[in-house]
């Protein structure tokens, strides 16, 4: 089979590798000048820099953990995020260290009582917006210092104007545990993520073309291959015929500094309204301080609104957009049955890395590749 894969991120590269191992002739097109999509890392001053934001691999799926470990050795990095609110430092997710700093409580019972006391302002009212939803879950102090302004920066809107469903739950731990994730497996690949995708695509029957835009010659490509796996925006594939899906974007400012240690942690969130960025990433801490002496690399991450031509990072999964996406899926089934849409943009869904691999492997077990 002649297979075209559009996008050399984790979804496309997983499918390309597995189909190449089955004997398909695979061409991978990538619009960017490098493989690995948003998990791309590059070496700066001996530091693996996450070019498109922090990526920590975590999963409870043993099969996925073993799959990704074929391509790199993972360290034991544990994601322990801290929040800076006007110079006050709090641990995330919300745990007993957070509650002790916030209120001086020591025991879980004291913390639970304090949260219940503050949640009572909702008086059993059904939350009508994100602000009310958050207060109903964690109370007023945590909402005011650690959620309100951070959320407003992320979404570019006041939390009172955002729907309640955006926050279905907020993790609250009544233990002194700063591990951000609950998954069984967690770590960062030693030597960065790019090597993983490079190894995936290192097959004699995979040909990679970088800096190549599929959409510029879409019909020509569709006519030239038996099957196409497309990991770009599904609405853009169809020239926005049914309307434009909404996304959020990000902007990154990365600097190399002549210091050994800038902030003492890989990720620091800034949860006040005065600070324009949402977080600072200090990349060397993902690999326990590995770098050239006297050097560090930091990235300021700014949320951004999205319009056509911008880089889309997150789908805005409200009911309007989800309904439009369903219409695009129906259109794809009808008009392009030889095209499989995948990844965050093709499936219009927020995925963690392990979920991307799971979805890619599941697509390989489906009927798509069996059909002529």
By C-alpha distance, which of 33, 40, 10 is closest to 283?
Answer: 40
Number of C-alpha atoms within 13 angstroms, CB side, residue 351? 22
- CB of 78 closer than 8 Å to CB of 158: no
Query: Both 71 and 110 in a single domain?
Result: no
Instruction: Note the pLDDT of residue 14.
Output: 98
Q: Tell me the per-residue pLDDT of 290-347, one tens digit each, with 9 for 90 and over.
A: 999 999 999 999 999 999 999 999 999 888 999 999 999 999 999 999 999 999 999 9
- Kindly indicate the confidence band of residue 90, based on its pLDDT and cuts at 50, 70 and 90: very high
Query: Both 91 and 158 in a single domain?
Result: yes
Q: Is residue 301 part of a domain?
A: no
> Which residues touch 372 (CB under 8 Å, ≥6 apart)?
226
Q: Is residue 46 part of a domain?
A: no
Q: E strand or H helix at 361, and its extent?
A: helix 353-365
Query: Both 221 and 239 in a single domain?
Result: yes
Percent of the chain with pLDDT over 90: 95
Query: Both 8 and 71 in a single domain?
Result: yes
Q: Is residue 114 part of a domain?
A: yes
Instruction: State yes or no: pLDDT of 372 exceeds 60.
Output: no
Q: E strand or H helix at 4, and its extent?
A: strand 2-6
Instruction: State yes or no: pLDDT of 144 exceeds 90.
Output: yes
By C-alpha distance, which of 246, 262, 242 is closest to 254?
Answer: 262
Q: Across residues 68-91, what is the average pLDDT?
A: 98
Q: Is residue 133 part of a domain?
A: yes
Instruction: State yes or no: pLDDT of 134 exceeds 90.
Output: yes
Query: Both 108 and 68 in a single domain?
Result: no
Q: Cα dist. 350→140, 249, 317, 371 in Å?
A: 28, 13, 9, 28
Q: Is residue 126 part of a domain?
A: yes
Instruction: State yes or no: pLDDT of 165 exceeds 90.
Output: no
Query: Both 213 and 116 in a single domain?
Result: no
Q: Is residue 291 part of a domain?
A: no
Instruction: State yes or no: pLDDT of 167 exceeds 60.
Output: yes
Instruction: Note the pLDDT of residue 93.
Output: 93
Query: Both 88 and 225 in a single domain?
Result: no
Q: Across residues 235-261, what is the average pLDDT?
A: 98
Query: Both 9 and 150 in a single domain?
Result: no
Query: Both 224 and 320 in a single domain?
Result: yes
Q: Is residue 152 part of a domain?
A: yes
Domain holding 130, by residue range, is 81-166
CATH of the domain at 228: 3.40.50.720
Query: Model-level pTM?
Result: 0.95
Query: Both 235 and 87 in a single domain?
Result: no
- Kindly indicate the confidence band of residue 239, based on its pLDDT and cuts at 50, 70 and 90: very high
Query: Both 33 and 113 in a single domain?
Result: no
Q: Across residues 193-205, what is the average pLDDT?
A: 98
**127/142 Cα distance (integer angstroms):** 17
Q: How many CB atoms lie within 10 A of CB 94?
A: 23
Q: How many CB atoms lie within 10 A of CB 104?
A: 9
Number of domains in the chain: 2
Quote the mean pLDDT of the chain: 96
Q: How many CB atoms lie within 10 A of CB 267?
A: 22
Q: Tell me the per-residue pLDDT of 25-62, one tens digit each, with 9 for 90 and over.
A: 999 999 999 999 999 999 999 999 999 999 999 999 99
Query: Both 153 and 30 in a single domain?
Result: no
């Amino acid at each position: 089979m002649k297979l075209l894969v559009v996008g050399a991120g984790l979804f496309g590269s997983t499918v390309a590798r597995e189909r190449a191992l089955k004997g398909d002739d695979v061409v991978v097109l990538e619009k960017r000048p490098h493989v690995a999509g948003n998990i791309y890392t590059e070496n700066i001053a001996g530091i693996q820099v996450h070019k498109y934001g922090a990526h920590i691999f975590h999963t409870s799926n043993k099969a996925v953990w073993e799959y990704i470990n074929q391509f790199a050795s993972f360290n034991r990095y544990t994601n322990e995020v801290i929040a800076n609110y006007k110079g006050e430092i709090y641990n995330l997710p919300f745990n007993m260290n957070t509650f002790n700093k916030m209120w001086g409580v020591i025991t879980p019972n004291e913390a639970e009582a304090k949260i219940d006391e503050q949640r009572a302002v909702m008086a059993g009212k059904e939350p009508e917006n994100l602000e009310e939803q958050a207060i109903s879950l964690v109370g007023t102090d945590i909402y005011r210092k650690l959620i309100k302004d951070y959320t407003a920066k992320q979404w570019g809107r006041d939390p009172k104007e955002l729907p309640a469903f955006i926050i279905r739950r907020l993790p609250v731990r009544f233990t002194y545990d700063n591990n951000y994730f609950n998954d069984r497996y967690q770590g960062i690949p030693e030597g960065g993520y790019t090597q993983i995708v490079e190894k995936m695509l290192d097959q004699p029957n995979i040909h990679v073309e970088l800096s190549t835009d599929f959409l510029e010659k879409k019909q020509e490509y569709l006519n030239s291959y038996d099957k196409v796996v497309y990991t770009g925006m599904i609405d853009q594939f169809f020239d926005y015929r049914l309307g434009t899906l909404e996304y959020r974007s990000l902007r990154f400012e990365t600097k190399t500094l002549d210091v050994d240690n800038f902030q003492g942690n890989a990720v620091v969130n800034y949860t006040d309204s005065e600070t324009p960025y949402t977080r600072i990433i200090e990349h060397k801490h993902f690999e326990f301080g590995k770098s050239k002496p006297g050097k560090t690399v930091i990235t300021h991450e700014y949320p951004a609104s999205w319009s056509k031509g911008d880089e889309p990072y997150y789908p805005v999964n409200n009911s309007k957009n989800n309904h439009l996406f369903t219409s695009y899926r129906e259109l794809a089934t009808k008009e392009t049955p030889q095209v499989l849409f995948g990844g965050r943009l093709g499936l219009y869904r927020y995925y963690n890395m392990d979920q991307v691999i799971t979805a890619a492997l599941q697509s390989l077990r489906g009927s798509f590749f069996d059909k002529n």
